[in-house]
Amino acid sequence: PDAVAPPAPSPPNSPAPGSGRLAAHRGGRVLNLDLHDVACVEIEDTIAFAWTPEGRFRLNGTLAELEERLPGPAFVQVSRSAIVQLRWVKHLEPLGAGVWLASLEDPVDKTVRVARRRVKVLRELLGWWPGDSAAVWWLRWCLRGPGTRPQTVHPVLAVGDRSPTPL
C-alpha cells in the first residue's frame, strides 16, 4: 500500500489543528472556531471579536476571560484590547512614540496596535533579540522555516517611513 505523508507540523507553540475550540457567534448562529485558525481577538466597543481566515466572529466574555481560555504562549496579549496568536504575525512596524503595529498574515490581513509596554515581550517571543537591527531580525525570522515566516513583506523601515523597504 502507498504510504501517506504525515501532515506538516505546526509552528512551535502553536495549537495543533483541532486541539481546541472557541464558541463564537455570527449571523444568529453559534459556531465552534478551531483555535489554530484564530489569528487575533480584539475588543471593539466592549464586544470581543475573533479574526480568522473566514472573517470576524463575535465572542462572549471579556479580554481577561478569553485570555484564560486561549493557550499560552501561542496567544499573547499585545494591548488592553487585543490578543494575537504568534504564528499569524507577519511583521512588526513602528508607528511612533514606542507604539508598534503587528500585521497579520493573509487571508486575515489585519493590523493590530501593540502597546508600548508589550513591544519588548512580543519582539522577544518572535525572535527579535535585544540589540538586533530590523534586518538581523528579518534574517533570523526567515531561517525559522517554511510556514512560520512572512511571505511578502519585511519590517526593515527607513527612519520616519512607514512603508517596507528592500534589504
Concatenated DSSP letters for 67-117?
HHHSPTTTEEEEETTEEEEGGGEEEEEEEETTEEEEEEPTTT--EEEE-HH
Question: What's the pLDDT band for 160 if we cut at 50, 70, 90?
Answer: very low
**Least-confidence region, from 5-9, 28-32, 57-61, 109-113:** 5-9
Most confident of 91-95, 134-138, 141-145, 162-166: 91-95
Whether this prediction's pTM lies above 0.75 is answered by: no
Confidence of residue 161 (pLDDT cuts 50, 70, 90): very low
